Amino acid sequence: MNTSKKIWIISAIFFAALIVGGVTLMGSTDFSASLPTSTNKSVAPDFKLVSLSGKEVRLSDLKGKPVVLNFWASWCGPCREESPLLGSTAKKYDDNVEFLGVAVNDSEDKVKTFSKRSGMDYHIGLDNGSIADAYNVNGIPATFFIDSDGQIVDTWVGGISEENLTTRIEKLL
């Protein structure tokens, strides 16, 4: 076998290994757990959310109580997976933590139907993009953990597990 043919075969094997490795990484069932989270404190931008029930909620009005702020959409696969967990966790911490849902690029009818079916019984409203922009949301789901002083103390990008959600809420309390 001549040298150029050996080099071509070795190169082909190398590139095939790169492709297989990349596909394996992207097919990981817990890819979101490897996404970066932030623990640098910063002031949570204030906003007004009109909930699906018509109630106006301002983040600044919730000062004194920790907040879990979740950006999501009914058409988003990982959002659909985590929504029942968010609903049940909101009920569990109802007296101690406020949950807010911000539906991004979605319709009111779909958000109402989906949130009801998923047990998301907390303040949920539609965003025209201004709230997501204020929080620099580049992908959903994205969850922000805001302490009782109005400081963002942690974020999670991607679908969140029960363990990660509970751990972050407990740090807020």
Least Cα distance to 77 among 170, 140, 135 occurs for 140
58: which strand partners?
A: 48
Is 76 catalytic? The answer is yes
Q: Which of 68, 76, 102, 169 is catalytic?
A: 76
- What sign has the CA pseudo-torsion 133, 28, 169, 52? positive
Distance CA 121, CA 80 (A): 15
Q: Which of 62, 79, 103, 132 is catalytic?
A: 79
Query: What is the signed CA dihedral for 22, 105, 142, 68, rounded to 10 degrees?
Result: -160
Number of Cβ within 10 Å of residue 170's Cβ equals 10
The catalytic site residues sit at 76, 79
